[in-house]
Amino acid sequence: MSTQTVDVDQLALGPEDRPVPAARPVRLVPTSDEYATVVTEELSEREHEVLKLVSQMLTTDEIAAELYLSPNTIKTHVRSIMRKLGVTSRGRAVRRARDLRVL
């Protein structure tokens, strides 16, 4: 059984008076093979290394072993690469990087 603490001051407020949690920023993701025309950030040197290995169709575990990093670190790099390139998959990231002559 878990216990939960409740702020007594919040109980006296009605739903309309309670503070609203900050809204998360909305991120628009391309729904087709067309990409956003602007890349907002450049890829880091490590992201370039990861992207090169992704383009060779290596798995996350194989990339991690090659770069002596943890698989979770590789996943973080891949997510960052996809965000920066404005894509939603590893394959699209590779195509987008080739289109931009980054890879």
Instruction: Centre a 10 Å sphere on the Cβ of residue 28 and count the other Cβ atoms it contains.
Output: 7
Round to whole Å and give the CA distance between 80 and 61: 17
pLDDT in tens, 32-51: 545 444 566 889 999 999 99
Contact assessment for residue 10 and residue 74, using Cβ atoms and an 8 Å cutoff: no
Structure tokens at 8: 């007594």
pTM recorded for the entire structure? 0.63
pLDDT over 70 at 78, yes or no: yes
The CATH number of 45-103 is 1.10.10.10
Domain range annotation of the chain:
45-103
b/e string for 34-72 if b means 16 or more Cβ within 10 A?
ebeeeeeeebeeebbbbbebbbeebebeebbeeeebeee
